[in-house]
């Protein structure tokens, strides 16, 4: 099974809180990561909703974006070239 954006968004909010907007941003980044093929190439597994949730459960407490960035940082250290999938906040 591949990523299901709607289900992933719901699970992110249910499991980790945060706002709907924040969950949507994480989902967009997850879809971009899956579409890039990078994760599958490096890890040898398909990026699914369950994989994302399992990995984020291992992260220190925080919002979906905090947890996502922690995981992306781990992938960056292990394989390189993952920082573009991180969630950034811009001040207006």
Residue 39 has pLDDT above 90, yes or no: yes
Q: Please count the structural domains in the chain.
A: 1
Q: Global pTM?
A: 0.93
The Cα 92–Cα 75 span in angstroms is: 29
Q: Is residue 70 part of a domain?
A: yes
Q: Is residue 36 part of a domain?
A: yes
CA distances from 14 to 2, 40, 44 (A): 20, 26, 28
Q: Is residue 89 part of a domain?
A: no
Residue 77 has pLDDT above 50, yes or no: yes
**Segments forming the whole domain that contains residue 41:** 5-82
Reported as a pLDDT band with limits 50, 70 and 90, residue 1 is low
37-46 b/e (C-beta count within 10 Å ≥ 16 → b): ebbeeeeeee
pLDDT of residue 92: 41
Q: Is residue 26 part of a domain?
A: yes
Q: Is residue 92 part of a domain?
A: no
């Amino acid at each position: 099974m591949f990523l299901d954006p709607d289900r992933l968004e719901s699970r992110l909010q249910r499991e980790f809180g945060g706002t709907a907007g924040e969950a949507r941003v994480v989902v967009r980044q997850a879809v971009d990561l899956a579409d890039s093929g990078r994760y599958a190439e490096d890890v040898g597994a398909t990026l699914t909703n369950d994989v994302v949730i399992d990995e984020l459960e291992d992260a220190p407490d925080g919002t979906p974006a905090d947890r996502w960035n922690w995981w992306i940082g781990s992938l960056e250290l292990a394989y390189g070239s993952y920082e573009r999938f991180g969630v950034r906040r811009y001040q207006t």
